[in-house]
Amino acid sequence: MINILDEKTINRIAAGEVVERPVSVVKELVENAIDSGAANISVEIKGGGIDLIRVTDNGSGIDKASIPSAFLRHATSKIKDSYDLRNISTLGFRGEALSSVAAVAQVELLTKCRDDFLGYRYRIEGGKEISFDEAGLPDGTTVIVRNLFYNTPARKKFLKSAVSEANLITTLIERLILSHPGIGFKYTVNGTLRLSSDGLGDIKSDIYSVFGRGVERCITEVSLLNENCTVTGYAGKPEIGRGNRDCEIFFVNGRLVKSSLLSSAVEEAYHNFLMLHRFPFIILYIEIPAELLDVNVHPAKTQVRFADERTVYSVVTDAVYEAVTKEELIPDAAASSNPVSETSFPEVSGAIKAANAVYVPEPFEQRAVTVFQKEAEQSLEESRAKQSAEQITLFKEGFLDDSNIEKHRIIGQLFDTYWLVEFEEKLYIIDQHAAHEKIKYEHLIGQIKGGRVDSQLISPPYILSLSVSQEETLLAHMEDFSHTGFVIEHFGGREYAVTAVPVELFGMGEKDYLISVIDELASSGNIKEPAAVYDRIATMSCKAAIKGNTHITYEEAKSLIGQLLKLENPYNCPHGRPTMVMFSKTEIEKMFKRIV
């Protein structure tokens, strides 16, 4: 038997799509406040938002005739028909927010339009209208939500503790402050002011308000204009990389979104700057014409589709790479010791997860990431080449300026591993192993790209005895190995003779490391892109680098440091570890309490 559900039941089911927990309510109400043109928005919660949520704005208000309609399903002032879906510029537009909230809570609406003498007080509980009266009110709208899920106890029992629910809302407010620097926010938890912003449009000031002083001094501005895609924001230096993607924060046309396409573009730009399993601190604002963007993808409106994914991927990658490389990336040891603690954020990755918007990439986007990475390589390489050729200008008067190298004063070696260099009231500590790794890596990569790898003959040759799968992998990549300076010949059965290796790899147990690369390629599903294979092979050069706990002479250290500073990226070894850190004289004097 097929049953036709009543409107009350339908509303409660619909509420489950939009209102999953208190943070979902706050998100919907604040987005409506933003769309109303508010210059100031106040958010107050009690009991993790379960007991009380109050959102107040000084926006345009709601006229009397529209108030009851605002609580009907699919009632909205943002769009009129399907044509408007292709040109959405507001945050809320589905017309289910107030209806869904009212279905599972006790809601009170206080609103007044600017041109009206009086405002109105409207109460609705569980989807049923309770009262509708005139009231003396200031301009704008206040929505009060009490006793969330009071009529759906089964939903309520699955909520987390009040503290956990409040943390999710706090993360959301942080993101909203960052996404709308022109709006002043005030956020109160159980009577205590937790966050506030001045609404003066200074994004860097808002970053300071949200993340603190440590992050503010470890970020660099991102700015790149394109005909159909503008990217601005701030990129964190590698020293404040994170252990997850919680701080990859993206706003598209003012909307907080989660996108594997954008994450991939950003992480490509940070390639070779971060260690494995570390992720960038990045806040990006992407502006795209509304007709080139589909935001009606997910009920929580946290996913978007781009009409021109190639352009978006390329522009984002180039913008971030240029920002990351436009100034010296030598970590300030004092600043990076605790620029932002791993516990500065709630246990989940912010408002997206909080609103039950766990991102599952669309098939087209999964394909796009792979395709665009390949297509962006050429553009990114051009950008890197350009960056290297302007390097002296960008690092003018810096540690890496060729004209300043003679001013370096090499003090000596510490622990047979680190070299101490003094320059302009700063102390630089250079890791000789990481530095030599990077030198050998870039030398080999440069030769590979130039198509002329210097090889060293081996006599007698190494004999590789391979398994079936190893042999298949070697044969699949034989041309790649040849291009990188290896000479490998069939020796009968599943044995192969290695008669020559790249000079940069000579003398470092080439046989074992060649086997390890073959195994890695096999476990990675036989990577097809030559550039990825070259990178893995070049990383082997690290094994031939000077080790820590090895004494080298002053002249050897001077040559090593000189070579390091001439590299395209001297800041990190191929594994992402820093090659050098810096202490300023001021910081050292603070350590000894000469400066308080």
Per-residue pLDDT reduced to its tens digit, 252-303: 988 888 888 899 899 888 887 887 778 899 999 999 988 887 766 555 556 7
- pLDDT grade, residue 15 (50/70/90)? low
Going 333 to 339 to 343 to 346, the CA torsion angle's sign is negative
Output phi, psi for 369, to 5 deg: -60, -45
Write out pLDDT tens, residues 433-487.
989 988 888 888 888 888 888 899 988 998 988 888 889 889 988 998 998 889 9
Query: Region 25-53: what's the mean pLDDT?
Result: 95
Question: Which range, 75-79, 107-111, 346-350, has the best average confidence (pLDDT)?
Answer: 107-111
For 346, the 3-state DSSP assignment is coil
Please name the residue that has the structure tokens 């939903």.
155
210 and 177 Cβ atoms separated by less than 8 Å = yes
Report d(CA 556, CA 359) in Å as an integer.
51
The two three-digit tokens of residue 32, written as one number: 């409506």
CB 496 within 8 A of CB 463: yes
Tokens standing for residue 402? 């060729």
**Above 70 in pLDDT, residue 340?**
no
Mean pLDDT, the chain, as a whole number?
A: 80
Per-residue pLDDT, 85: 44
- Note whether 421 and 560 are within 8 A (CB): no
Query: For the packed helices 22-35 and 162-179, what is the interaxial angle rounded to 10 degrees?
Result: 20
Whole-angstrom distance, CA of residue 97 vs CA of residue 76: 9
Residue 191: burial class (beta carbons within 10 Å; 0-12, 13-18, 19+): exposed
Phi and psi, residue 186, nearest 5° = -135, 125
pLDDT tens for 221-258 read: 999 988 888 999 999 988 788 878 888 999 998 888 88
Q: Which of 187-191, 301-305, 512-516 has the lowest mean pLDDT?
A: 301-305
Rounded distance between C-alpha atoms, residue 90 and residue 417, angstroms? 57
Query: Given this model, what pLDDT does residue 100 score?
Result: 86
Min mean pLDDT across 67-76, 373-382, 546-555 is at 373-382
Q: Are 117 and 103 in contact (CB under 8 A)?
A: no
pLDDT bin (cut points 50, 70, 90) of residue 311 is: confident
Instruction: Output the CA–CA distances (angstroms, integers) from residue 230 to 223, 224, 302, in the order listed.
Output: 8, 6, 20
Mean pLDDT computed over 373-390: 52
What is the tens place of the pLDDT at every residue in 124-166? 998 899 999 999 999 999 999 999 999 988 888 889 889 889 9
> In the chain, what is the straight-line distance between the N-terminal and C-terminal CA atoms, in Å?
79
3-state helix, strand, coil in the chain (%, to 5): 40, 25, 35
Distance CA 55, CA 44 (A): 7
Question: Comparing C-alpha atoms, which of 185, 191, 201, 205 is closest to residue 33?
Answer: 185
State the pLDDT confidence band at 329, using cuts at 50, 70 and 90.
Answer: low
Q: Which 3 state secondary structure label does DSSP give 487?
A: strand
Report the range out of 17-31, 118-132, 301-315, 344-358 with the highest average pLDDT: 118-132
CA 78 from chain centre, in angstroms, equals 30
Categorise residue 49: left if φ over 0, alpha if ψ from -120 to 50, beta otherwise.
Answer: left
pLDDT of amino acid 503 = 84
Tally of CB atoms within 10 A around 26:
26
Share of the chain above pLDDT 90, in %: 32
Q: Please tell me whether residue 2 adopts helix, strand or coil conformation.
A: coil
Contact call for residues 64 and 50 (beta carbons, < 8 A): no
Contact at 8 Å (CB) between 27 and 351? Answer: yes
Return the CA Rg of the chain: 29
Average pLDDT over every residue of 309-324: 89
Residue for token digits 């390629």?
A: 521
- Structural domains in the chain, CATH included, are 7-196 (3.30.565.10), 213-339+359-387 (3.30.230.10), 402-582 (3.30.1370.100)
Per-residue pLDDT of 388-435, as tens digits, reads 437 333 333 578 777 788 888 999 999 989 999 999 889 999 999 989
**Beta carbons within 8 Å of 234's beta carbon, 6+ residues apart:** 203, 204, 207, 219, 220, 221, 222, 282, 283
Largest CA distance in the chain: 97
- pLDDT value, residue 596: 72
Q: What does pTM read for this prediction?
A: 0.61
How far, in Å, CA of 377 to CA of 306, rounded? Answer: 20
User: Which whole number is the average pLDDT over 309-331?
Assistant: 84
Binned at pLDDT 50, 70 and 90, residue 7 comes out as low
Q: Give the lowest-confidence range in 324-333, 548-557, 568-577.
A: 324-333
DSSP summary character for residue 416: T
Distance CA 532, CA 281 (A): 25
**Position 74 pLDDT exceeds 50:** no
pLDDT band at 88 (very low <50, low <70, confident <90, very high): very low
Tokens of 590: 């603070």
Question: Which range, of 11-25, 130-144, 560-574, averages the lowest pLDDT?
Answer: 11-25
Ramachandran angles phi, psi of 392, nearest 5°:
-65, -40
